[in-house]
């Protein structure tokens, strides 16, 4: 198969996309153009296009969309390939993607809105809102007679807090990786394949032991799902209802939900390659055409690139979009600060941790040092989804990037390559 060329229909698609996404520019922060920011070179962006195009042409992924937005305006937008190899329908701005863990920043923002209102506090024990958390134990493996390993349960040294949920120090792993008795219990509980209400999901989760004492290890997992239930308890509303009323609908994120409600939209759903549908050995890519009871604040949302661009621009603007404030600038700055740095003595589980040059804030990874051989900006914050999507926000360059694709098996490789090419296009 011949390599894809970036000039094939590229100008026409780019201009069409600017028309589709022009509303995003209205959310730009006044004066953002005054920042000293690097620009993206045309030559560098052509390499970005060539890279994604070749991923499609060689059959690695069916298609993808990349948006780079600087000073509140799209400076690069391109659609590649098809939504689904079965239908051969081309990618378009209204394509719907499984966001998976890109749901976490959205849920975290909802929680921080309640924190700003004084209805929730970072140091609050989770048990204040979910009483079962007061009785949770920590699973510890100990070697007994004959070197036999047994899982023992120990009491909490301190309560799990809301901050623990936001920064993944609550001891609530996914159980996909790492082994050990606690993770085996999580895997056996098959929580990802359950379809319970958030209340019932958290009640089931609370019957399992924590993997570590609260505040001792960054251990990625179900913490944001518990946070979503806390939002429900505090607000008195289901997670999606609260989100739509306070964040999603006001931002214009009208396609963001926990499954695709309208059957007329089914053809707009992006699908991975038929052989690339496994999230883990026991979990396959979710069927988002089927109504879901579980509103997973950690991994359940679906949406379009335009929806997520509004969310990202709001954060880049310091909590404001189109004249409406969702968070204070100091709240966004707090979320985008490292909360697991060396001074905290928090260990880092390496199965999911976002690399040696990063810390973790309240909802996303944060760049804390410059990777060797680069001049990547400090303070960049970001996260991705196991389905293949990722986003990043670069305050120094007043830049937000959103990549949408469905490829569980190739997501890490593609994300690193694209981020490298994007920053090379900026001379970083």
Give the pLDDT of residue 25: 52
Q: Using one digit for the tens of pLDDT, what is the confidence trace for 287-314?
A: 999 999 999 999 999 999 999 999 999 9
For residue 22, is pLDDT > 60? no
What is the distance of C-alpha 59 from the center of its chain? 25
For residue 5, is pLDDT > 60? no
Q: Using one digit for the tens of pLDDT, what is the confidence trace for 116-158?
A: 999 999 999 999 999 999 999 999 988 777 677 889 999 999 9
Element at 157 (helix H, strand E)? none
- Cα gap 200→248, rounded to integer Å: 25
Q: What is the mean pLDDT of residues 223-229?
A: 98
Return the structure tokens found at 91: 């990618």
Return the structure tokens found at 319: 């909590």
Give the pLDDT of residue 351: 84
- Cα gap 198→110, rounded to integer Å: 15
The residue count of the chain comes to: 428
Q: What is the mean pLDDT of residues 248-266?
A: 97
268 three-class SS: helix
Give the pLDDT of residue 329: 98
- Cα gap 341→326, rounded to integer Å: 27
Confidence of residue 115 (pLDDT cuts 50, 70, 90): very high
Confidence of residue 193 (pLDDT cuts 50, 70, 90): confident
Comparing C-alpha atoms, which of 251, 269, 331, 213 is closest to residue 91? Answer: 269
Q: With b meaning 16 or more CB within 10 Å and e meaning fewer, what string describes 22-59?
A: eebeebbbeebeeeebbebeeebbeebbbbbbbbbbee
**pTM of the model as a whole:** 0.92
Comparing C-alpha atoms, which of 31, 94, 30, 88 is closest to residue 63? Answer: 88
Comparing C-alpha atoms, which of 203, 148, 158, 156 is closest to residue 181? Answer: 148
Bridge partners, 7 (sequence order):
none
Percentage of residues of the chain with pLDDT beyond 90: 83
Rg (CA), the chain: 21
Comparing C-alpha atoms, which of 371, 372, 360, 426 is closest to residue 394? Answer: 426
Comparing C-alpha atoms, which of 131, 119, 311 is closest to residue 231? Answer: 119
Comparing C-alpha atoms, which of 307, 365, 404, 409 is closest to residue 78? Answer: 404
Say if residue 390 is exposed, middle or buried (CB neighbours under 10 Å; 0-12, 13-18, 19+). Answer: buried
- Cα gap 43→56, rounded to integer Å: 20
Return the structure tokens found at 299: 């991994």
For residue 16, is pLDDT > 70? no
Percentage of residues of the chain with pLDDT beyond 70: 91
Residue 249 per-residue DSSP state: H
Average pLDDT, the chain: 91
Q: Which residues contact 105 (CB under 8 A, 6 or more apart)?
A: 311, 315, 363, 364, 383
419 three-class SS: helix
């Amino acid at each position: 198969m011949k390599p894809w060329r970036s000039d094939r229909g590229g100008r026409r698609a780019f201009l069409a996309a600017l028309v589709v996404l022009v509303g995003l520019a209205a959310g730009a922060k006044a004066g953002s153009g005054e920042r000293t920011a690097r620009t993206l070179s045309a030559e560098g962006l052509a390499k970005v296009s060539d890279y994604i195009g070749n991923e499609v042409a060689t059959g690695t992924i069916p298609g993808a969309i990349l948006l780079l937005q600087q000073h509140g305006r799209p400076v690069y937008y391109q659609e590649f390939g098809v939504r689904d190899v079965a239908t051969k329908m081309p990618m378009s701005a209204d394509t719907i993607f499984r966001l998976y863990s890109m749901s976490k920043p959205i849920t975290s923002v909802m929680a921080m809105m309640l924190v700003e209102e004084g209805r929730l506090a970072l140091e609050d024990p989770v048990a204040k809102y979910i009483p079962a958390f007061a009785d949770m134990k920590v699973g510890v493996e100990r070697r007994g007679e004959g070197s036999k390993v047994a899982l023992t349960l120990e009491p909490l040294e301190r309560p799990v807090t809301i901050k623990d949920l936001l920064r993944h120090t609550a001891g609530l792993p996914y159980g996909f990786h790492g082994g050990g008795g606690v993770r085996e219990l999580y895997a056996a509980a098959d929580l990802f394949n359950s379809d319970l209400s958030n209340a019932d999901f958290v009640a089931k989760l609370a019957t399992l032991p924590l993997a570590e004492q609260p505040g001792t290890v960054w251990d990625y997992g179900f913490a944001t799902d518990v946070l979503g239930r806390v939002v429900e308890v505090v607000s008195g509303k289901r997670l999606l209802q609260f989100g739509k009323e306070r964040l999603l609908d006001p931002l214009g994120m009208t396609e963001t939900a926990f499954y695709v409600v309208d059957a007329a939209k089914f053809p707009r759903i992006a699908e991975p390659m038929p052989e690339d549908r496994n999230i883990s050995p026991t979990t396959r890519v979710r069927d988002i055409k089927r109504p879901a009871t579980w509103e997973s604040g950690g991994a359940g949302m679906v949406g379009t690139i335009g929806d997520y661009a509004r969310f990202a621009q709001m954060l880049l603007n310091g909590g404001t979009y189109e004249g409406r404030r969702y968070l204070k600038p100091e709240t966004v700055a707090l979320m985008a600060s490292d909360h697991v740095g060396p001074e905290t003595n928090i260990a880092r589980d390496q199965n999911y941790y976002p690399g040696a040059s990063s810390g973790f804030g309240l909802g996303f990874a944060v760049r804390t040092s410059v990777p060797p051989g680069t001049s990547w900006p400090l303070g960049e914050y970001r996260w991705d989804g196991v389905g293949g999507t990722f986003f990043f926000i670069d305050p120094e360059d007043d830049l937000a990037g959103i990549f949408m694709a469905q490829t569980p098996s190739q997501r890490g490789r593609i994300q690193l390559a694209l981020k490298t090419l994007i920053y090379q296009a900026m001379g970083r």
